[in-house]
Amino acid sequence: MERKALLLDSYGLVRKRTEAICYPLETEDFVVQPIADVSPPKWHLGHTTWFFETFVLVPNLAGYKVFDPSFNFVFNSYYETVGARVIRTDRGNLSRPTVSEIYRYRQYVDDHVNKLFEGSDIATALWDILELGLQHEQQHQELLFMDIKYILGHNPLFPAYSHDPVFDELMVVREMPIAFSEGAFWIGQKGNGFCFDNEKGRHLVYLDAFEIAPQPVSKGEYLEFIDDGGYSDFRFWHASGWDWVNKNQIKAPLYWHSTDGHWMEYGMKGIQEIGAKEAVCHISYYEAAAYATWKGKRLPTEMEWEVASDRIKWGHRWEWTESAYLPYPKFKKAKGAIGEYNGKFMVDQMVLRGASVATSKGHSRKTYRNFFHTDRRWQFSGVRLAQ
């Protein structure tokens, strides 16, 4: 009975938090999609709701009538099993359904979810899906922060999102690296709390001795790389990173603007000064690796990071690792649409470890594996050095 109370309570809190994140937005901000990676906020609101409608209500609540049959087409994302999906780059062209219709959709689905789960005889498997739906919505909360920042930060008026101190920058200090001896270590989830399938399958890895920095790299340190011509010297870059820099004329992290030789950046509070002691953020894997090469160091692997996680300071910036996103030895895909969750993305991406200011508390754990393509940087990504 305890899990029931806990999950229904969580359900209310998580659903409300999503809406709270959108509270500072104007209606127009919900609609736009400036790049293919970014989804319009109203799409996140609808898609997370669609997840509960499709996987919880439709198969389990007798007599349930879907809110609007066309929403399956509009709010489905990548779940190929469940039907045709809107092409991602088209999401920003859809003015309808309106934001207020989507809020009504949320209310409708919430009412029915509560009604369903207030009943008795709910199977464990259904509680599991409810929990997965909440975890899923929490992931979209992080995406919401990323996407809102991108939308407002690429508007020529640079509107502020919020002055909440939660968006204060993380101050970092340069400390001596921590040394680890070589040996075999356990990696992956321990215990049986919730985790995603990609974290499961605890297994041994053998690591050579390594050293790792206790804190991430600061903006001041990163500025030294810029000032030393880091963006114009191919020797620090991967071949494809160098192509990316030149093709996109990259000269600094995302959101940095140089006016008269002075760097400013767009933050949640609007345009602001760059603080030399703040942790650098919004860099791609290519930039993280180039910075490390310039320093004569390297990035930690995800295994080194996990082994070191209890002795380093983390949680404010996702940290790029030198590990490709691949399945753990015992990885098994779940059957059906839910099985599409993670496995099919295990190629062509790199792992990030840690968490960020935008991460839901429950997602901040040392085994969590985040992943992005090497050129993406609208997530709150930083860098930590190893050797």
Residue ranges that bind a copy of itself, judged by CB under 8 A: 26-34, 42, 70, 73-74, 78, 80-81, 86, 90, 92-99, 151-152, 154-157, 159, 182, 184, 203-208, 210, 234-235, 237-242, 285-286, 289, 298, 322-324, 326-327, 329-330, 344-348, 350, 374
3-class SS of residue 237: coil
Question: Considering the complex, what minimum distance in angstroms separates the CB of residue 211 from a copy of itself?
Answer: 12
Strand pairing of 381-382 and 370-372?
unpaired
Question: Considering the complex, what minimum distance in angstroms separates the CB of residue 238 from a copy of itself?
Answer: 5
Query: 100 CB contacts (<8 Å, ≥6 apart)?
Result: none
Q: Kindly tell me which of 11 and 244 has the beta carbon lying closer to a copy of itself.
A: 244
**Hey, what are 56's tokens?**
């919880």
Q: Kindly tell me which of 37 and 131 has the beta carbon lying closer to a copy of itself.
A: 37
Question: Considering the complex, what minimum distance in angstroms separates the CB of residue 3 from a copy of itself?
Answer: 31
Q: Kindly tell me which of 114 and 240 has the beta carbon lying closer to a copy of itself.
A: 240
Q: Kindly tell me which of 153 and 278 has the beta carbon lying closer to a copy of itself.
A: 153
Question: Considering the complex, what minimum distance in angstroms separates the CB of residue 155 from a copy of itself?
Answer: 5
Q: Kindly tell me which of 171 and 347 has the beta carbon lying closer to a copy of itself.
A: 347
Q: Rounded to whole angstroms, how far apart are CA atoms 343 and 5?
A: 31
382: left (phi over 0), alpha (psi -120 to 50) or beta: beta
Question: Considering the complex, what minimum distance in angstroms separates the CB of residue 145 from a copy of itself?
Answer: 16
Q: Rounded to whole angstroms, how far apart are CA atoms 87 and 146?
A: 20
Question: Considering the complex, what minimum distance in angstroms separates the CB of residue 129 from a copy of itself?
Answer: 19
**What are phi and psi for residue 370, nearest 5 degrees?**
-95, 160
Long-range contacts of 132-137 (CB under 8 A, 24+ apart): 132/338, 132/341, 133/48, 133/51, 133/52, 133/55, 133/56, 134/7, 134/10, 134/11, 134/14, 135/194, 135/196, 135/362, 135/363, 136/48, 136/51, 137/14, 137/15, 137/18, 137/48, 137/51
Q: Kindly tell me which of 61 and 346 has the beta carbon lying closer to a copy of itself.
A: 346
Q: Kindly tell me which of 229 and 329 has the beta carbon lying closer to a copy of itself.
A: 329
Question: Considering the complex, what minimum distance in angstroms separates the CB of residue 157 from a copy of itself?
Answer: 5
Of 16, 145, 151, nearest to 91 by C-alpha is 151
3-class SS of residue 123: coil
